[in-house]
Amino acid sequence: MSSDITRALGKIACPCGLVGVKQGENHDLTTVAWFTQESSNPPQVMVALHPDRYVLELLDAAGEFVLSILAEDQENIAVFCGTHSGRNVDKIKELGLATEPAAVVATPRVKDALANLECKVSGRYQSGDHVIVVGQVAAANVSGDKKPLLYYEHNIARWSR
């Protein structure tokens, strides 16, 4: 890919969040920046996941996930969950991350996230070097008025840099 294309794509500001899945006794979270709402009726979101991500294995088995939108003061969570594999590390334990039961899905919500969207998988598509997972939002909660953490110029970023 040309450097102009890479630089231009870096100008797309994306919210930063976590995709969490609990399948049996296994619970993993991975950092995502490529996600968005893609439908209002029904309410749906899409997330792009690299096919090697452990969370995708769990998601394929569970058929559901929680998308947690992170606040700008949760950069450490995003960095840790994006740089460690759930195959090797219990990210929730290592971070001391507070979770709470979800309303509809088996996967717990991240307690201090800006918002949590509880999703049932409604589609899965291979696209380029990522897998697009579409989730129908079955329940949600909002817990804060902080600004969201961003992914900008290929890095995790706060609103003021």
Domain for residue 150, yes or no? Answer: yes
Domain for residue 14, yes or no? Answer: no
pLDDT band at 159 (very low <50, low <70, confident <90, very high): low
Q: What is the mean pLDDT of residues 1-16?
A: 90
pLDDT at 97: 96
Identify the CATH number of the domain in which residue 61 sits.
2.30.110.10
pLDDT at 105: 98
Residues 130, 34: Cα–Cα separation, whole Å: 10
Residue whose C-alpha is closest to residue 46's, from 149, 130, 140: 130
Per the DSSP assignment, residues forming a β-bridge with 49 are 131
Domain for residue 107, yes or no? Answer: yes
Domain for residue 2, yes or no? Answer: no
**DSSP secondary structure code for residue 87 in this structure:** T
pLDDT band at 160 (very low <50, low <70, confident <90, very high): low
Residue 149 C-alpha from the chain's centroid: 12
Could you give the percent of the chain with pLDDT greater than 70? 97
For residue range 104-121, list pLDDT tens digits in order. 999 999 999 999 999 999
Domain for residue 57, yes or no? Answer: yes
Q: Count of domains in the chain?
A: 1
Residues 150, 114: Cα–Cα separation, whole Å: 13
Q: Which residues span the domain enclosing 143?
A: 19-157
Domain for residue 1, yes or no? Answer: no
The pTM of this model reads 0.94
Domain for residue 68, yes or no? Answer: yes
